[in-house]
Amino acid sequence: MTPESKPLEVLFEEACAAKLRQSTGRMVICLEKLSAEQIWARGAEHENAPGNLVLHLCGNMRQWVISGLGGKPDVRERDKEFETTGGMNLTELLMLLAGTVEEALQVIFGLTAEQLSRLYTIQGRTVTGFEAVITVVEHFGQHSGQIVYAAKQMLGRDLDLTIPRRR
């Protein structure tokens, strides 16, 4: 099936999934290069450790997509995402990230055009399904960039995360 023959909602869902997977891949590469201490290290009191950012992204994605659009209970405890100073090893953190992303993608790929244009109330905001998905993709990209930056700073080198060009 060519892009021209796909419904707009399918093209939208595929593009969002590609961006989420790309950001996830970059975060995994970075996290795998960091020590256990570096994953939970904060540069300063007001900064977040890479591990906290992963917890935050999972909480946000769960609240906006899995709960907000998918109808599962909202069990998010946002403050804990930032208060945590360890307790999860790399494998557990990566499993949480991968599982959350895949669960969110199942919801996203299950959304119909009607569901994408419907209004939802998430975090006290009224948004369409389109807006909710875009909000999560943008938020995910912002914080994945922070993880990349933190890893480069901690390791003192480039991590070669260049995106191959489409042909």
Return the pLDDT at 148. Answer: 96
- CA–CA distance, 64 with 70 (Å, rounded to integer): 9
The residues of the chain scoring below 50 in pLDDT are none
CB 50 within 8 A of CB 150: yes
Domain residue limits, the chain: 8-155
Give the helix ranges, DSSP H, for 34-128.
Answer: 36-39, 50-61, 78-83, 90-110, 113-117
Percent of the chain with pLDDT over 90: 81
Return the pLDDT at 44. Answer: 85
pLDDT digit string (tens) for 70-113? 999 999 999 898 888 888 999 999 999 999 999 999 999 999 99
State the amino acid at position 129 in one-letter form. G
Task: Count H helices and E strands in the chain, helices first.
Answer: 7, 2
Return the pLDDT at 3. Answer: 72
CA of residue 63 relative to chain centroid, distance: 12
Return the pLDDT at 16. Answer: 97
Question: CATH assignment of 8-155, given 1.20.120.450, 1.20.1070.10, 1.10.10.10, 3.30.750.200?
Answer: 1.20.120.450
Return the pLDDT at 164. Answer: 60
